[in-house]
């Protein structure tokens, strides 16, 4: 998922003052660019996405995105960019020239590594697939497609504007144009049985390149799905069925050569999304565009940034003040350490306890680790990393809460 989905840090936070930190010198640096517009709003989605009747003035947005990149680069100059990710919303509604202008701005203010991963999130409609060549020419080298389901009635219920056939055709276009592609599916959908999901997942694995994102449907507050669910009009699988669907996902993907490297993400070796690894490994990233979050290493502190969410208000802020930041604050040791656990334990590789100690200023609680190990929920690897076990992943939130408390 995306940075703006993650915990917001209050700008009015009280509590211990941030302690200046020694930030690791070898952090990778990624740039997230948010495009906040969609053709229609899917009823399950609570991302920062907006539908506009009038045409979007893309040149104006591109200028504002470039200005925010310049303002961010002034704070963290000299970085080498390992990854760039255009997320949304629906970035595949952007004209390739807009994408090119943003990439030019990144290149103008930072050094882009020759092997940088440059991903764009795309909706799999035939219209959007016609733009893929333009994105490739602009410098994008990886696409992530929101296929969501391979069943037309499920797609209709999810409010999607494409059929399964159209989505698979878009995957085919992506395969021909890009070296690397991924697609997303949502499972544990209304009335979905393990048999149906197994069939769908088999098909997905046959179409997959090196990466798949498989998300369990979450009923997000204040969405049309939440209203239907509350009214008893949307029945999602019960906990036991959801668990069976999850277990089946792990097994089929591992057998198909794409084991989970993160709770919801599966890849062949070296096919992992390098950009998302930057979030999960608590490296450094700039958040550009409406509602984007960043984590920047400035003067030895790790700073949390977030921009104005509403697209037009963001635009005005950038045009008048040069950037749209509404949050920009140093994280305390506790916050950095908690975030490191929360993100890092999602990964199959787990975390390095010595980095936790450096961030928190104290080690993880040995007694708690011992208890979790006795329950088979975490394990230590031969090289001293702490990771969540297969049995622990379904109760990951509880494991993290226990270690962080
Ligand atoms: C930014 S969104 C979508 C990108 C693109 N606009 C699309 O819809 O194809 C990234 C992914 O989050 C997942 N997602 C969004 N809302 C979700 C929810 N309520 N439950 C589970 N997955 C969700 C979808 O799989 C989606 O493709
Ligand atoms: S198209 Fe994607 S971002 Fe837009 S509303 Fe649907 S799921 Fe959300």
| Ligand 2 atom nearest 123 alpha carbon | 1
What are residue 330's DSSP bridge partners? 303
- Locate 157 and state its tokens: 């219920």
Check if 90 has its Cβ closer than 6 Å to any atom of ligand 1: yes
Among candidate residues 126, 125, 106, the one with its CA nearest the CA of residue 116: 106
- Grouping H, G, I as helix, E, B as strand and the rest as coil, residue 329 is strand
pLDDT at res. 126: 82
My answer on whether omega of the bond before 53 falls inside 30° of 0, hence cis, is no
pTM over 0.85: yes
Burial profile 227-256: b = 16 or more Cβ within 10 angstroms, e = fewer: ebbeeeebebbeeeebebbbebbbebbeeb
Q: What's the gap in Å between 60 CA and the centre of ligand 2?
A: 23
pLDDT at res. 16: 46
Q: What's the gap in Å between 337 CA and the centre of ligand 1?
A: 28
pLDDT at res. 23: 55
pLDDT in tens, the chain (405 residues): 444 443 332 333 334 444 444 456 689 999 999 999 999 999 999 999 999 999 999 999 999 999 999 999 999 999 999 999 999 999 999 999 999 999 999 999 999 999 999 999 999 998 888 999 999 999 999 999 999 999 999 999 999 999 999 999 999 999 999 999 999 999 999 999 999 999 999 999 999 999 999 999 999 999 999 999 999 999 999 999 999 999 999 999 999 999 999 999 999 999 999 999 999 999 999 999 999 999 999 999 999 999 999 999 999 999 999 999 999 999 999 999 999 999 999 999 999 999 999 999 999 999 999 999 999 999 999 999 999 999 999 999 999 999 996
Residue nearest ligand 1's atom 9 by CA: 146
Helix axes 333-344, 396-404, angle to 10 degrees: 160
What are residue 380's DSSP bridge partners? 386
pLDDT at res. 25: 61
pLDDT at res. 128: 87
Cα 116 to chain centroid distance, Å, stands at: 17
Residue nearest ligand 2's atom 3 by CA: 89
pLDDT at res. 391: 93
Nearest ligand by distance to the CA of 37? 2
pLDDT at res. 129: 86
Q: Torsion-angle region of residue 322: left (phi > 0), alpha (psi -120 to 50) or beta?
A: left
d(CA 248, CA 253): 8
pLDDT at res. 11: 32
pLDDT at res. 390: 93
Check if 218 has its Cβ closer than 6 Å to any atom of ligand 1: yes
């Amino acid at each position: 998922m995306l940075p703006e989905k993650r915990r917001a840090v209050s700008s009015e936070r009280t509590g211990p003052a941030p302690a200046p930190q020694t930030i690791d010198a070898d952090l990778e640096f990624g740039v997230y660019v948010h495009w906040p517009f969609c053709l229609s709003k899917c009823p399950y989605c609570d991302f920062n996405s907006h539908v506009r009747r009038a045409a979007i003035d893309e040149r104006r947005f591109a200028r504002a995105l470039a200005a925010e990149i310049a303002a961010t680069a002034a704070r963290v100059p000299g970085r080498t960019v390992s990854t760039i990710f255009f997320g949304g919303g629906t970035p595949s509604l952007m004209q390739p020239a807009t994408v090119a202008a943003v990439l030019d701005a990144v290149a103008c203010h930072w050094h882009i590594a020759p092997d940088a991963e440059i991903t764009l999130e795309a909706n799999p409609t035939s219209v959007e697939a016609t733009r893929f060549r333009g994105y490739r020419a602009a410098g994008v080298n990886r696409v992530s497609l929101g296929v969501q389901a391979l069943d037309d009635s499920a797609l209709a219920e999810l409010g999607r504007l494409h059929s399964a056939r159209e989505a698979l055709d878009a995957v085919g276009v992506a395969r021909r144009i890009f070296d690397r592609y991924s697609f997303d599916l949502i499972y544990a959908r209304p009335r979905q049985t393990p048999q149906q999901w197994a069939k769908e997942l088999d098909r997905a694995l046959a179409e997959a390149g090196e990466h798949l994102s498989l998300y369990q449907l979450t009923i997000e507050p204040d969405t049309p799905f939440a209203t239907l669910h509350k009214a008893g009009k949307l029945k999602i699988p019960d906990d036991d069925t959801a668990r069976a669907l999850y277990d089946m996902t792990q097994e089929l993907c591992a057998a198909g050569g794409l084991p989970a490297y993160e709770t919801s993400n599966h890849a062949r070796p070296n096919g992992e999304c390098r950009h998302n690894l930057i979030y999960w490994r608590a490296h450094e990233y700039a958040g550009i565009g409406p509602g984007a979050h960043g984590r920047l290493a400035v003067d030895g502190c790790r700073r949390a940034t977030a921009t104005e969410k509403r697209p037009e208000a963001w635009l005005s802020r950038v045009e008048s003040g040069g950037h749209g930041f509404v949050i920009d604050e140093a994280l305390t040791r506790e916050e950095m350490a908690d975030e490191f656990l929360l993100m890092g334990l999602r990964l199959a590789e787990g975390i390095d306890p010595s980095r936790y100690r450096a961030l928190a200023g104290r080690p993880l609680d040995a007694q708690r680790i011992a208890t979790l190990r006795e329950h088979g929920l975490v394990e230590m690897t031969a090289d001293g990393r702490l990771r969540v076990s297969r049995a622990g992943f379904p109760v990951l939130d509880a494991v993290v809460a226990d270690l962080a408390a």
